[in-house]
Amino acid sequence: MHRIISPKIAQKVMKLIFWISGIITILILLVIIGYVILKGMPVLNLEFIFGDPIDSGREGGIFPMIISSAYVTLIALLVATPLSMGAAIYLSEYASEGKLVAAIRFGAETLSSIPSIIFGLFGLAFFVIYLDMGWSVLSGGLTLALMALPTILATSEVSIESINKSYSEGSLALGATKWQTINRVVLPAALPGITTGIILGMGRAIAEAAAILYTVGAALAIPISIFDPARPLPLHLYILATEGISLENAYGTAAVLVIIIIIITVVTNTLVDRYSKKMMGR
Amino acid sequence: MEYRIEVKDLNVYFDELHILKNVSLKIHKNMVTALIGPSGCGKSTFIRTLNRMNDLIDTFKMDGDVLLDGKDIYDPKVDVVELRKRVGMVFQKPNPFPKSIFDNVAYGLKVHGITDNEVITEKVEESLKSAALWDEVKNILDKSAMGLSGGQQQRLCIARTIAVEPEVILMDEPCSALDPISTTKIEDLIHKLKKDYTIIIVTHNMQQATRVSKHTAFFLHGEIIENGPTDKIFIEPCDKRTEDYITGRFG
C-alpha cells in the first residue's frame, strides 16, 4: 500500500477544513444578524422603541410588545426554572439509575423535540380553555415554560453531574448532610452551567411565536395583570409580516428582538465568566 | 495503653467481591498509625469504613465491629453526620471547594450550625495556624482556594478538617500528589498534630511510614498480615511477606 497523500499534507488539509467550517458558522450568524439589523435600522429610533403602536402597527412603536415579551418570558422562567432545577437535582444527585430516571430523561428529551406549534395547541386546549385562563400573559407564559423546561433541565443536569465528586466527598467527610452538600458546594460550583441553561431556555421562550400564537391573544395595549392578553415581539413580527401590515416595522421589530437577545447573552456571559474566574482563582 | 478505635473481625464486600477479610486492628489514642501494602490490598477501603464513607457506595456490605471509644459506629442509632464530624478525612488528591480560602475552613463550622462570625473568624485563623498555612494565606483569605499550589491546597484541606475538632484524622495517601518539599511540610504537620489527634495514614511510601508513624499495619489481599510498632515492623518483621514488601521485592 502506498500512501496517496502524506500525513503532513493531510494534517494541513484537515486543519484548513476545520478552520473553514468554523469561519462559515460565524459568517452565517453575522450575515443573519447583520441583515436583520440593517433592514430594521431605518425605523429604529426612541419613538419606535418607547412608543405605542398606531393603526395596528403600521405606524408608531412597539413598547407594549417589548413589555409583553419581558412579561411572558419572566413567567415562563419563574415556573420552568425551579421545576427543572428540582428535576435536575433529583436526577443527578438522588435518583439511582432505574426505570423512573429513564422515564424522566426520555420524557424531557421528547418534550424538547416536540414542535412549538404543538405546545401552542396544547396551551390553547389546556390553559386557555380547560383552566379558563383565557388568552393571557399567564396562558402564554405557562406554555413557554413547558418549552423552556427540558432545555433548562438537560443543561442543569449535565452541569451538576460534571461537578467533581471529590467536592461532595470532602463536604460529606466534614459531617455535612447531603442537602447541605448539594446546596452549599455542588450548586454554587454548577451555577455557571445552570445559568447557561436558564439563558438557553429564556432564548427559546423569548423568541417563540408559534407556541404563543393561540395562547396569549394579540392585544396592542401594555398588559398589566397576568390575565390580560398581550402581544410579544415575535408574535407582533409575525402578524405585521403575514398580514402585510408593514414589512419595515416587521424588520424593526425583528432588529429589536435580536438586539435584546444579544444584550442578554453578552451580559450573562460576562457575569458567568467573572463568577467562574473568582471561584476558580484565575 | 488506651485505644481510640477497635476493629474486630471486619469483613467488607462490594457486591460479590470480598475486599477485607477478618480484619482486626486496634488504633492507639493520639498516635500515628500507618497502613502500608500494595495497591488494591484494601487500605483505602479500610479507612473509609472508619468514617462510613463506604456507605455512599450502593454495593457496600460489611460485618464485624468497628468501635470508636468503645461504641459501635455501625449501630443503627449512630448519626453518620455526627460520626464524620468526629472522624475527619484528608483525601489523596487535594480537594478544596471552589470557594475562598476563608470559606473552605469556615465551611465545616457553618454546616455544624455556628453562625457567630467572630467565633468563625477566630477558628479559621487558629485552624490555618495549626495547619502551618496561616503565614502564606493570611493576606489572601478571600481569594479562591483553587489558586493555591497542590501542597498548600492539601494543608488547607487539613485545616478544614481540624476546624471541626475531630478526634481522629484519616489520611488517604495525602502526599501522593505532592512534590518532596510539600510532602516534608505535611509530614512536619503530622508530627505536630499527633499530640492532639489520633491519626491514621495510608501511604505507599515506606520512608514516610517510618518517618511519621509509631505503629504500622501491613495489608495484603484484604488481610492484615502483621501489625505492631513501626520500628519492629521495619527492622525485624515476623512475616516473610512483610519483609518482601518493605524491602521492595514486590508491590
Q: For residue A168, what is the nearest residue in chain B, using CA coordinates?
A: B97
> Count of CB atoms within 10 A of residue B98's CB?
20
C-alpha cell at A55: 393603526
Is the pLDDT score of B250 beyond 80? no
Nearest residue, CB atoms, B111 vs list A164, A174, A278 = A174
pLDDT of residue B179: 85
**Confidence at residue A60, expressed as pLDDT on a 0 to 100 scale:** 85
Interface of B with A (CB under 8 A): 51, 53, 56, 58, 81-85, 88-89, 91, 93, 95-99, 107-108, 110-112, 143-148, 157, 160-161, 164
pLDDT in tens, B75-129: 999 999 999 999 999 999 999 999 999 999 999 999 999 999 999 999 999 999 9
Element (H, E) at B183: helix B180-193
- Using CB atoms and an 8 Å cut-off, which of residues 147-206 of chain A contact chain B? 164, 166-167, 169-177, 180, 184-185, 188-189
Mean pLDDT over residues B67-71, rounded?
91
In this prediction, residue A164 has a pLDDT band, given cuts at 50, 70 and 90, of confident
More confident residue, B240 or A1: B240
ipTM of the shown complex: 0.91
Among the partner residues A96, A173, A185, nearest to B84 by beta-carbon distance = A173
pLDDT in the model for residue B251 = 55
Residue from A94, A169, A174 whose CB has the most chain B CBs within 10 Å, to mutate: A174
B60-68 and B3-14 strand pairing: antiparallel
Whether A182 shows a pLDDT value over 90: the answer reads yes
Quick: pLDDT tens for A55-110.
888 888 899 999 999 999 999 999 999 999 999 999 888 887 778 888 888 888 89
* In contact, A236 and A65? CB cutoff 8 Å: yes
pLDDT tens for B155-205 read: 999 999 999 999 999 999 998 888 888 889 889 989 989 989 999 999 988
Question: Do residues B50 and B200 make contact, with C-beta atoms less than 8 angstroms apart?
Answer: yes
CB contact under 8 Å between B91 and A173, yes or no, is yes
- For the residues B243-251, what does the mean pLDDT come to? 79
Specify the pLDDT at position B131: 87
Give me chain A's average pLDDT, please. 91
Average pLDDT in the A184-191 region?
94
On chain B, the residues whose CB falls within 8 A of the CB of A185 are 97, 99, 107
Region A266-277: mean pLDDT is 92
User: Residue ranges of the domains in chain A?
Assistant: 7-41, 44-279
Asked if the model's pLDDT at residue B247 lies above 90, the reply is no
CA distance A46 to A110: 42
- Mean pLDDT of all residues in B222-250: 88
Measured between CA atoms, the residue of chain B closest to residue A190 is: B98
**pLDDT tens digits, residue range A246-261?**
888 999 999 999 999 9
CATH code of domain A44-279: 1.10.3720.10
Q: Any idea what DSSP says for residue A95?
A: P
Cα dihedral B107, B111, B112, B117 sign = positive
pTM of the model as a whole: 0.85
Quote the percentage of chain A above a pLDDT of 90: 66
Residue whose entry in the numeric block shows the C-alpha cell 420524557: A107
- Exposed, middle or buried: residue A96 (CB in 10 Å: 0-12, 13-18, 19+)? exposed
Neighbour tally for A208: CB within 10 Å: 25
Mean pLDDT of A239-251: 89
Classify residue A146 by burial, with Cβ atoms within 10 Å: 0-12, 13-18, 19+.
Answer: buried
Q: How far is A9 from chain B (nearest CA, A)?
A: 41
Q: What is the pLDDT of residues B30-67, one digit of tens each?
A: 999 999 998 888 899 999 999 999 988 889 999 999 99
pLDDT at B24 over 70: yes
What distance in Å separates residue B13's CA from the closest CA in chain A? Answer: 20
A261/A268 Cα distance (integer angstroms):
11
- Cβ contact, residue pair A278, B144, below 8 Å: yes
pLDDT at B1: 57
| A38: pLDDT strictly greater than 70 | yes
Which residues 87-116 of chain A have a CB within 8 Å of chain B?
A: 96
Cα-Cα-Cα-Cα dihedral sign, residues B101, B104, B109, B115:
positive
State whether B99 and A279 contact (CB < 8 Å). Answer: yes
Instruction: Indicate the pLDDT class of residue A201, thresholds 50, 70 and 90.
Output: very high
Residue B188, C-alpha cell as written in the block = 512536619
